[in-house]
């Protein structure tokens, strides 16, 4: 997913404030702690042991932060892939196929930057 890094909050790991095509969020940054603000390609890693899934409030991709939780809305294939827009996120969660909202504490959702 192409995100825009707004700023990094100090910590271990630092928390990244980002904007995505589907909304703003906060997640653990697993890249260079001196990364400059701006566009970055990232992959998401979710700690499934701390995540919960429920039916999505509406069938549209969304990313947001609420009360210390990262909320990802996407279409789950039932076999391990959540698609938030054009971004696949691999999960090992018991959830039926369809639109779901995944909730996970911000510090347990990680952003791994990469270069193309």
Look at the chain and report how many structural domains it folds into: 1
d(CA 109, CA 96) in angstroms, rounded, equals 21
Structure-block tokens of residue 70? 């990262």
d(CA 92, CA 90) in angstroms, rounded, equals 7
Summarised one tens digit per residue, pLDDT across range 39-90 is: 999 999 999 999 999 999 999 999 999 999 999 999 999 889 999 999 999 9
Summarised one tens digit per residue, pLDDT across range 96-115 is: 899 999 999 999 999 999 98
Please check the confidence at residue 14 and state whether its pLDDT lies above 90.
Answer: yes
Could you list the residue range(s) of the whole structural domain that residue 7 is in? Answer: 2-114
Please check the confidence at residue 95 and state whether its pLDDT lies above 90.
Answer: no
d(CA 75, CA 54) in angstroms, rounded, equals 12
Residue 44 near residue 85 (C-beta atoms within 8 A): no
Residue 96 has a pLDDT of 86
Residue 94 has a pLDDT of 82
24 pLDDT tier (thresholds 50, 70, 90): very high
Q: How far apart are the first and last CA of the chain?
A: 12
Residue 93 has a pLDDT of 86
Please check the confidence at residue 116 and state whether its pLDDT lies above 90.
Answer: no
Residue 30 has a pLDDT of 97
């Amino acid at each position: 997913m192409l995100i825009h890094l707004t700023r990094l909050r100090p910590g271990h790991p630092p928390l990244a404030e980002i904007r995505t095509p589907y909304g703003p969020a906060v997640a653990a940054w697993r890249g260079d702690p001196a990364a400059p603000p701006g566009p970055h390609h990232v992959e998401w890693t979710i700690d499934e042991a701390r995540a919960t899934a429920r039916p999505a409030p509406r069938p549209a991709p969304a990313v947001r932060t609420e009360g210390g939780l990262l909320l990802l809305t996407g279409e789950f294939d039932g076999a391990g892939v959540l698609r938030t827009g054009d971004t696949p996120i691999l999960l090992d969660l018991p959830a039926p196929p369809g639109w779901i909202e995944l909730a996970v504490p911000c510090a347990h959702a990680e952003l791994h930057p990469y270069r193309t």
